[in-house]
Amino acid sequence: MDNNTKIPVHVSIIMDGNGRWARERGQERVFGHKKGIGSVRASLQAAAEAGVKYLSLYAFSEENWNRPQEEVDYLMKLMFQAISDEVEELMRNGVRFRVLGNRARLNPVLLDAIRSLEETTRDNTTIDLIIFLSYSGRWDIFQAARKMALEYLSRPDGAAEIEAMNDPALFSRYLVTDGIPDPDLIIRTSGEQRLSNYLLWQGAYSEFVFVDKMWPDFGKEDFFAALSEFASRDRRYGKVK
């Protein structure tokens, strides 16, 4: 890429199309999920090479728990195996690993593996890899509102403090993404053009790039192409330039 290209600080990807990719090849949906791990590695490599500081991936939504139990079980096992396999690679490349979402729904074995990898990589500074697991935008906003209400209503003048608030940014502190910059760019694969209940608050001013390829076919060149498209955009945030 051109060194003068505008590089987004945070790129987020809705990894869509694994199941359809597998069916087109006469395989079970889980085959597509397994092949999609290669696209995760390729995207992480491309992001690090380009100087992106945060790469987040929508891996499993709250709604995905309604999928067939066999597929859900496989996805959880695949996540556990991927964590086990990638420790040395993440450390070698300075990747900080984090998982955000409704952790209460994750099984204890996977949760322990996640906590261990987060602790192992916490001091890495090249790039943050954030996996959204058991996550949805509405759930995030709801849990944030509940957390905020409980905190303020426990104070003597909490209700008055809430009524006097006029800065929406204060609410962001209660989202699971607290301390992480909002995504500058959201990429979605498979040709679908919707958010699917993902980062509804955080994506308010994100640029979107929709890619026709299914996730298992998404490679480094596609990531760089999305960055080039982002660089061509004029971001005004509602202002006039």
* Per-residue pLDDT tens digits for 201-217: 999 999 999 999 999 99
**pLDDT of res. 4:** 54
Measure the CA–CA gap between 25 and 31, rounded to whole angstroms.
10
Q: Which residues are catalytic?
A: 16, 64
Find, among 37, 25, 107, the residue nearest to 78 by Cα. 37
Segment 146-192, tens digit of pLDDT:
999 999 888 888 888 888 888 888 999 999 999 999 999 999 999 99
**What order of strands is seen across the sheet that includes strand 207-210?**
95-100, 127-135, 54-61, 10-14, 185-188, 207-210
Q: What burial class does residue 234 get, using C-beta atoms within 10 Å of its C-beta: 0-12 exposed, 13-18 middle, 19+ buried? A: exposed
Tell me the DSSP string of 36-47. Answer: HHHHHHHHHHHH
Whether this prediction's pTM lies above 0.75 is answered by yes
What pLDDT, in 10s, does the model give residues 130-140? 999 999 999 99
